[in-house]
Structure 1
Amino acid sequence: MKVFLRCFAALIMVISIILGFISVNTFQSSTAVDDIGISMVRLLYEYESIIDVYNREDQIKSLCSPDVWEAINFDNTAHFAGTWDRTRNIPTVVRVVFTRPGLVVYALENDFVVPKDLWCFEYRIENGVFSEVREYQLVSMRRDKEGGLF
């Protein structure tokens, strides 16, 4: 019986190690997709002056499908009012709170924006460019007893 329990415990350990390697490899393979979403959020909203964003226009446009560019470009007054106007053209830093493939949850840090306000940048990549983008503000969040978001 002792031999059986030891073999069973060893089998459980081996399975745990294998599952750990699988989860680490899965996380590492999704990092490149996460990075492109984080990069786009920073290109759009992290700047010393709104002029920095205008200077990045060609870079941002090259990462977007025509439909996405039409939705997020600087000439779209609805997008401008809902995004860059909220920062009041003062230096802004993006703080990434959570990310997974297709989603970046972030906060904007400057003297005007409430630092607890969280924003979502949801996206889809097709043929190496952003083919769909949705942005919205999280209205309320709850924290678990350890302080993490859930």
Structure 2
Amino acid sequence: MARRVSHEGAECPVARAVDIIGDRWSLLLVRDAFDGITRFSDFQRSLGLARNILASRLKELVGASILEVVPAADGSAYHEYALTEKGRELFSIVVALRQWGEDHLFEDGEPHSVLLDAANERPLQRLEVIDASGRTVTSSDTFVRKVSH
């Protein structure tokens, strides 16, 4: 198997983020953590992932301070995984992927899960990228300024 190229020192924030959460299992683990899953066995049951791969991904997410290991809520000898503040800040990324998936990966009328606001049990509004003045912007309204040395 080829070694994964690291973008740890890249000038691009997207490349650095993809190094940590860019594989499918890591993002699905974060999604499951948002859905309240905390235990190794429950992550495994949800994803059907081999134990060694699951252990590796959880270790990477803990190492990146996206998840933290905490004592089990029930006081047992087990431990659980909880989102850190850094991990909770991935919420908008998960919502954006969900909304993109809803728009492009389901046929009309095909059933799928829906993310609801807990206060009123209604679907969330569409995410938008907003500039400093409150105007919605698209990719054609933006540009990347490269870092100069």
TM-score by length of 1: 0.26
Identify the structure with the greater helix proportion. Answer: 1
Identify the structure with the greater strand proportion. Answer: 1
Question: Of the two structures, which has the highest relative contact order with CA contacts closer than 8 Å and spacing of 6 or more?
Answer: 1
TM-score by length of 2: 0.27
